Amino acid sequence: MPRILITGGAGFIGSHLCDYYVARGFEVIAMDNLLTGNVGNIAHISSENFRFVKHDVTNYIYVDGPVEYILHFASPASPIDYLELPIQTLKVGALGTHKALGLAKEKKARFLLASTSEVYGDPLVHPQREDYWGNVNPIGPRGVYDEAKRFAEALTMAYHRFHGVDTRIVRIFNTYGPRMRLIDGRVVPSFIGQALKGEPLTVFGDGKQTRSFCYVSDLVDGINRLLMSDEVDPTNIGNPAEMTILEFARRIRELTGSHSEIVFRDLPEDDPKVRQPDIGKARRLLGWEPKVELEEGLRRTIEHFRGVISRGAR
Ligand code: UDP
């Protein structure tokens, strides 16, 4: 039975990866410092092949015994998180990736880095293909995340080239689903929470900026296909169905049956004006494409947040 270490295993995507690999008979170690992760996300996993270790991966990582796969998902991941946690965000992208790669080298494990569409910054090429180098402001407030992930990609490629570590890099575009934090400030939980509570939906800027939203089960399937493939260069995984944020607010209002008004707030600094993955490479190499339609994914997510709100949780 292969052993897999998932850093950030108590986070939104990390916990879905734990479910996925436990269900497929892997021995899973979830590691998380619980800065933005939550043990509630993995509390339902009762398998004896599952273990949680509370650890900050910017410090030396010790794991007893063999490890076949390492998925490095630890990082604050929402714009307000990295505004509040700029140093931790830089440290986990840089020092945390270094420690996780060091462990992969030691254990001869295959390593997969969770990278991001943020490496493309405010893109001047649309949609974004993997060979686009991006347009990132290194010294702006988002730079702490974008540059940490860009450094993490560079470090991953260096460990691959110099130490022969078997590596993969996934560039994850906006992903949504159950277990996002209601208060993490990202647009999906914000709008759904506001709509369900009858509060105004806060559209930043004029709402003409675009995003493309991928349901978490599609993302996890794409990540597994990439992990099991031979592809070392970065690969986009996301849903190309693009829409403006104003359209998105209206969809959320319809799907929740809410009468909340839409209000406009200042656009955060360096907020990308457009974002859409080109998934030609994932289609060709991995035979992957997203299956869950936005409406279906949002219904499941809204159901989840109704439960969270009715329990009075955050
Ligand atoms: N956004 C918004 N209202 C909110 C939260 C976010 O209009 O309450 C906008 C944000 O400015 C961005 C888009 O929604 O243009 C997606 O933001 P999110 O924080 O989810 O992720 P990003 O794609 O910017 O990393």
Q: What is the pLDDT of residues 257-282, one digit of tens each?
A: 999 999 999 999 999 999 999 999 99
Q: How many DSSP H helices and E strands does the chain contain?
A: 10, 13
Q: What is the pLDDT of residues 153-169, one digit of tens each?
A: 999 999 999 999 999 99
Instruction: Categorize the per-residue pLDDT at 312 as very low, low, confident or very high, splitting at 50, 70 and 90.
Output: confident
Read off the tokens for 66. Answer: 């063999």
Question: Mean per-residue pLDDT for 292-314?
Answer: 94
Q: Mind telling me the catalytic residues?
A: 145
Query: What local confidence, expressed as pLDDT, does residue 200 receive?
Result: 98
Q: DSSP secondary structure string, 55-106?
A: --TTS-----S--SEEEE--S--SHHHHHH-HHHHHHIIIIIHHHHHHHHHH
Residue 227 has pLDDT above 80, yes or no: yes
Distance from C-alpha of 230 to C-alpha of 240, rounded to nearest angstrom: 24
Closest atom, ligand 1, to C-alpha of 78: 19
Q: Is 38 in the pocket of ligand 1 (CB under 6 A)?
A: no
Which residue has the least CA distance to atom 24 on ligand 1? 271
Q: What is the pLDDT of residues 104-158, one digit of tens each?
A: 999 999 999 999 999 999 999 999 999 999 999 999 999 999 999 999 999 999 9
Contact yes or no for 6/18 (Cβ under 8 A): yes
164 Cβ neighbours under 8 A, 6+ residues apart: none
DSSP β-ladder status, 242-244 and 210-212: antiparallel
Ordered domains of the chain (ranges, CATH): 3-175+214-237 (3.40.50.720), 178-211+241-275+293-310 (3.90.25.10)
pTM: 0.97
Sign of CA dihedral 288, 38, 94, 28: negative
Contact yes or no for 55/8 (Cβ under 8 A): no
Element (H, E) at 163: helix 143-163
- Measured in Å, residue 105 CA sits from the centre of ligand 1 at 37
Q: Is the peptide bond before 127 cis (omega within 30 degrees of 0)?
A: yes
- Measured in Å, residue 187 CA sits from the centre of ligand 1 at 5
Q: What is the pLDDT of residues 24-73, one digit of tens each?
A: 999 999 999 999 999 999 999 999 999 999 999 999 999 999 999 999 99
